[in-house]
């Protein structure tokens, strides 16, 4: 084989190997990073769902013995029933703290999904409405605590469906809500703040 043929053959084989490697997809380090990220998301989701399930089991256990609320337009009766349930939950969860359910790992997952579910422009438009009351005055900051009632004077605002789709599904007793830049986990049967994620929205 001539030197020219040897060089040509070497270049051809090298080119085929390069193309073959490119066709195989991302480099191993990138695949490893993607796999690790996926595993972390799955673990955080599992952790959140387990803790939500534990809370809801407690909620149902404490709600079960209460007199069933009949269909009524008497909001005083509805409020009394909610306060009774909330008081029972507070006794059992008296040591509950922020981050018990939305742990740091869950918080990182939520913030990542929140940032991707709407564009910055859409979030800015949403918060332009949330940040002001009906008269256009700025909403005052709220000092949130686990086990507190929904804050007086804070409207229960619209939550975009894109956000609800991006986050793990909740049982019927719980809802995701937004107060300021905080994502709130709210027990609307008991009117109780169960947990919250500060600075969930960076817009």
Across 28-38, average pLDDT:
63
Q: Is the pLDDT at 14 greater than 50, yes or no?
A: no
Inside any domain, residue 190: yes
What pTM value is reported for the model? 0.79
Inside any domain, residue 109: yes
Q: How many CB atoms lie within 10 A of CB 109?
A: 22
Rounded CA-CA distance 140/142 in Å is 6
Kindly report the backbone phi and psi dihedral angles of residue 186, in degrees, each rounded to the nearest multiple of 5, phi listed first. -120, 130
User: What is the domain count for the chain?
Assistant: 1
Identify the pLDDT of residue 199. Answer: 95
- Strand, coil or helix: 76: helix
Higher-confidence position of 131 and 92: 92
Inside any domain, residue 111: yes
Inside any domain, residue 114: yes
Inside any domain, residue 108: yes
Identify the pLDDT of residue 141. Answer: 86
Q: Which structural domain, as residue segments, surrounds residue 65?
A: 35-197
Q: Is the pLDDT at 61 greater than 70, yes or no?
A: yes
Rounded CA-CA distance 114/39 in Å is 19
Inside any domain, residue 29: no
Inside any domain, residue 77: yes
Inside any domain, residue 66: yes
C-beta of residue 203 within 8 angstroms of C-beta of residue 160: no
């Amino acid at each position: 084989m001539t030197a020219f043929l040897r060089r040509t053959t070497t270049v051809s084989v090298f080119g085929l190997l390069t193309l073959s490697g490119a066709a195989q997809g991302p480099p191993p380090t990138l695949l490893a990073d993607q796999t690790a990220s996926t595993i972390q998301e799955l673990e955080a989701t599992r952790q959140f769902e387990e803790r939500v399930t534990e809370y809801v089991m407690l909620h149902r256990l404490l709600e079960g013995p209460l007199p069933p609320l009949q269909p009524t337009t008497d909001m005083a009766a509805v409020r009394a029933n909610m306060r009774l349930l909330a008081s029972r939950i507070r006794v059992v969860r008296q040591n509950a703290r922020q981050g018990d359910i939305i742990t740091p790992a869950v918080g990182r997952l939520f913030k990542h999904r929140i940032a991707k579910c709407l564009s910055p422009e859409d979030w800015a438009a949403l918060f332009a409405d949330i940040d002001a009351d009906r008269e256009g005055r700025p909403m005052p900051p709220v000092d949130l605590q686990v086990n507190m009632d929904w804050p007086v004077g804070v409207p229960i605002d619209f939550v975009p469906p894109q956000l609800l789709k991006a986050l793990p599904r909740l049982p019927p007793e719980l809802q995701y809500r937004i107060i300021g830049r905080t994502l709130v986990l709210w027990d609307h049967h008991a009117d109780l703040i169960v947990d919250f994620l500060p600075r969930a929205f960076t817009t």
